[in-house]
Structure 1
């Protein structure tokens, strides 16, 4: 009798877990891109400023960082950031760019993978 009661409790708990998992919407796929919940976070803004500075080293086009206005992140062996960056060009116009930055904090590694005018 005691064994069957424990078995019923275990089945009920398992069913509740399965039901809760099925009712919870999946917003992110493991290893996939997910929306950055707070683009105003100081670290996200710093990555955006760094991306503009790295771009300037390569293109020497005089852009000035404005702010990160949106983005996504992907957890890999570090984090890939796909950012929408508003920057000011030499004519004083706000222009939106798309940048992809790879960052691995524990090795202090950061790479600018792409930097293009947003479409």
Structure 2
């Protein structure tokens, strides 16, 4: 009788494993699309007051750090990344020496700590269009 009950337990356990495998295979155990995006970049509204303020902050911090006189124009594109707070990836139009220029800025924000820090600010090189050689494409390949 003991041998028979052990066989039943093994069969029950085997069925349980088979059902679990099927459930996971059809997606009930897979990550949701939202969960998979944690840490990834996602678009955000670039014409909001908050994004505008972060763009202005980026230009002001760059001016302070580099002793520049760039004038903020507008945020052209904005993406956010969930980190310990949020990392904003902005494309900003500004005026430098009377010329309109485009810059990319990264600003780290932790609102609960009243923390905002410019991580990167660089000019986008609009004078060099992307060519096939810049992409590593060779003829005949």
The answer to whether the superposition gives a TM-score over 0.5 is: yes
The superposition leaves residues 5-52 of structure 1 with CA deviations (integer Å, 9 ceiling, x where unpaired) of xxxxxxxxxxxxx69xxxx977x712111111x100000000000000
2:87 touches 2:107 (CA, 8 Å); kept in 1?
yes
Summarize the alignment of residues 1-119 of structure 1 with structure 2, pairs less than 5 Å apart.
Answer: 29-36=37-44, 38-90=45-97, 92-119=98-125
Q: Deviation above 6 Å: which 4+ runs of structure 1?
A: none
In our comparison, the structure showing a higher alpha carbon Rg is 2
Cα distance in structure 2, aligned partners of 1:98 and 1:40: 16
* Unaligned ranges ≥5, structure 1: 1-17
2:79 touches 2:88 (CA, 8 Å); kept in 1?
yes
Distance verdict in 2 for CA 1:25–1:110, change over 3 Å: closer
Cα distance in structure 2, aligned partners of 1:114 and 1:87: 16
CA RMSD of aligned residues (A): 2.3
* Unaligned ranges ≥5, structure 2: 1-26, 126-141
1:61, distance to aligned residue in structure 2 (A): 1.9
